[in-house]
Amino acid sequence: MKSHKHMQVLVLASLLIAVGTVIPMLMPKIIVGPMSFTLASHVAVMIAIFISPAVAIAVALGTTLGFFMAGFPFVVVMRALTHVIWAYLGAKYAQKNPQIFEKPIKTLQFNIVIALIHAIGEMIIVIPFYYGNGMDIQMFCYMIFGLVGLGTIIHSSIDFCITLPVWKALSQSRVITGVSQVKKINLIKNA
């Protein structure tokens, strides 16, 4: 029985990696300067947060490898690699506090914290790519804090809002709830 559960987790993580790699290739993008934001590109990693820390790490690493193999620019691959940090921290927190998704305010707070960690990681990663490229300090700050920082917070928050109803639908499956740490979310009932 235990090996059956492990196989389900492995298949689920593999499917999330595949979906997380394909979404950036197919979904619409918002391009602002050198930055691009792809709608729903974080949904697979965010779903993994509801399953377990190990699955969150696997999906973040797997999608990073997928981006690399698909030929995405190196800076995008490195930004994707930072997802390991916020995905793991989010999954670890959700594992210890699965009840946070029963109340909208707690869910919103979780979303904001994850988005902030996400943004900080991506800001740190892009500094070497922008620093010293002949841009003045004002443009550099705009790129790092505005486009990458604030842009990532907004993008991450929107993707989390997309993830919630997707997870709610997925959590109706006994197979999914059998392997996940967050069994169900019901924000409407407790609003």
Question: Which of 45, 82, 52, 66 is closest to 159 using CA atoms?
Answer: 45
187 lies in some domain: no
CATH for 44 = 1.10.1760.20
- Per residue in 3-62, pLDDT (tens digit) is 888 899 999 999 999 999 999 888 888 877 667 889 999 999 999 999 999 999 999 999
32 lies in some domain: yes
* Per-residue pLDDT at 190 exceeds 70: no
69 lies in some domain: yes
pLDDT, mean over the chain: 90
pTM: 0.91
DSSP E strand boundaries for the chain: 29-32, 35-38
User: Distance of alpha carbon 96 from its chain centroid, rounded?
Assistant: 19
62 lies in some domain: yes
- Per residue in 134-183, pLDDT (tens digit) is 778 898 899 899 999 999 999 999 999 999 999 989 988 888 888 898 87
In a 10 Å sphere around its CB, with 0-12 CB exposed, 13-18 middle and 19+ buried, how is residue 58 labelled?
buried
Q: How many domains does one find in the chain?
A: 1
151 lies in some domain: yes
Domain coverage including residue 42: 2-179
Question: Which of 165, 137, 140 is closest to 47 using CA atoms?
Answer: 165
Question: Which of 37, 2, 44, 39 is closest to 21 using CA atoms?
Answer: 44
Q: Reduced to 3 states, what is the DSSP secondary structure of residue 19?
A: helix
- Per residue in 124-139, pLDDT (tens digit) is 999 998 887 777 889 8
